[in-house]
Each structure stands twice: as structure tokens, then as C-alpha cells.
Amino acid sequence: MPRPKKSDEKTDLSSLFGEAQIDRSRAIGDQVYQLLRLYIILDRLKPGTQINEQDIGEWLGVSRTPVREAYQRLMRDGLVITQPKVGSVVSTIDNERINEGIIIRRALEREVVRLICDNDVNPDRFSANIALQQVAVSQGDHIEFFKQDEMFHHMLAELAGIPSAWRLAQSVKAHIDRARIRITSNLPNRMDQAFEEHLKILKALEQKDVELASQLISDHIEMIFVDMDKFTSENPVS
């Protein structure tokens, strides 16, 4: 298949980035990084897509300096790579980084639930988030469910009194999230299962059952391995 003309790619990406809003009162480099990271995770910027610093800067109305800063962070994440004669492109999903991210995230979140079990848990704190998860599941909206899933785990870290744990988890799980987005968009029942897992985790936390909560959170995080195997078997490479 012939490679699309560069002008066509620019038109598509300019439309995509035209949706973005940059807040000039906050660090611009971090906003560009978070935007590109999100687009890559959500598969709006697909593997192999060429992304040019100058073009991104023009579309977002910012200088190349913050864009370059964002690129450097994305390269450290393994989300953007440089190819000879091509330039910067979105990487493919890296299984080694998935394994690494799961090990780190599992250790962090097991500590999170252990700390929560030392205190009282008010289930009402999660009621709005749980309701939004349920709506996303009922509508088959895997993007919205992903966002609410992220909020659920962020809230757990805050409840444990160590919100930095979630920030650290974010720094190592980008490739996990890319796989999750593809899996939930192709395995609809996975959203229902993840939602039920969240409910079980909350129940264990309310009961201060640290062993059960630790096992549930571990199983929940490690389920990506099972999901990936199932996704691969149902979507073989031709």
C-alpha cells in the first residue's frame, strides 16, 4: 500500500490538534506532553504516525521549545522513536515496558490498599465515580470507562495518603494503557469484568481485609496478561 502523501497527514493531524486548548498560565511543555501522551494511548495517534515538532508547535500555537521538551519525555517513555530518513514517529506497543510497568504498578497499588485498610473507608467517596463507570459500561464507551478507571485508581492513592504513588504509576504504565484501550475496544466484556473487580476491591477495603484487597488489586492489574493473550488469539496477525 502506498504511503499517504505528507500533506494529507498534516491535514488529518492539524484537525486533531485543532481540538486542543493550551492554558498559557500553566507549564506549556507539560501540557503538550500530556496531550500527545493521551492521543497516543487512545490510539488517535497510531503507531508509525510521523509527528513533526514544527507542525505540532504551529497547530498548538506554541514555540518549538516546549514541544521539544514534550518529545524528550515521550522518547523516555518509549512512546516516540526516531527513524532514519523519517524523523519522529509513534512507536509500537512495547511488551517489555508492559511487563516492567505491571511489576511497578502492582507493588505500588498493593501498598496503597494496605494503607487504606488501616483507616475507615467511606464508600460514598466513590459513589459518583462508580456511577460514571457503570454508565460507560452500559453504553459500551471504552474511552470514558478508561478515564473513570484512571480516576478510581487515582482516588485510591489519595485515600491512602500517597497521591504521588499514582503519579509514579502514570510514569511507567503508558504502554499498558495503550494495550488496555485496544483490548477494551475489541473485547467489550472486559469493561464489565473490570467494573466488577473495582466493586470487589472497594468491598474488601470497607471490610479492612488487607490480604483479600491485596490479592484483588494484584489480580486486577495482572489481568492485562490474560486479556492480551485472549485478544491475540481472537485477532491473529494475518
Domain check: are 100 and 204 in the same one?
A: yes
Domain check: are 103 and 210 in the same one?
A: yes
Domain check: are 110 and 61 in the same one?
A: no
Backbone angles phi, psi at 44, to 5 degrees: -80, -25
Specify the CATH number for the domain of residue 209: 1.20.120.530
Q: How far apart are CA 71 and CA 7, in angstroms?
A: 22
Domain count, the chain: 2
Mean pLDDT over the full length of the chain = 88
Q: Where are the beta strands (DSSP E) in the chain?
A: 80-83, 87-90
pLDDT 10s digits, 53-85: 888 988 888 999 999 999 999 999 999 998 888
Asked if residue 229 is part of any domain, the answer here is yes
Q: How far apart are CA 206 and CA 209, in angstroms?
A: 8
Q: Which of 66, 90, 114 is the last residue of a domain?
A: 90
Q: How far apart are CA 198 and CA 217, in angstroms?
A: 9
pLDDT 10s digits, 109-159: 999 999 999 988 887 899 999 999 999 999 999 999 999 999 999 999 999
The DSSP-derived string for 99-132 is HHHHHHHHHHHHHHHHHHHTS---GGGGHHHHHH
Q: Provide the domain limits for residue 51.
A: 6-90
Asked if residue 79 is part of any domain, the answer here is yes
What is the model's pLDDT at position 11?
A: 46
Q: Which of 57, 90, 123 is the last residue of a domain?
A: 90
Specify the CATH number for the domain of residue 72: 1.10.10.10
Domain check: are 85 and 104 in the same one?
A: no
Domain check: are 103 and 156 in the same one?
A: yes
What is the residue type of 195?
Answer: F
Q: What confidence tier does 182 reach under pLDDT thresholds 50, 70, 90?
A: confident
Domain check: are 40 and 108 in the same one?
A: no
Q: How far apart are CA 147 and CA 37, in angstroms?
A: 14
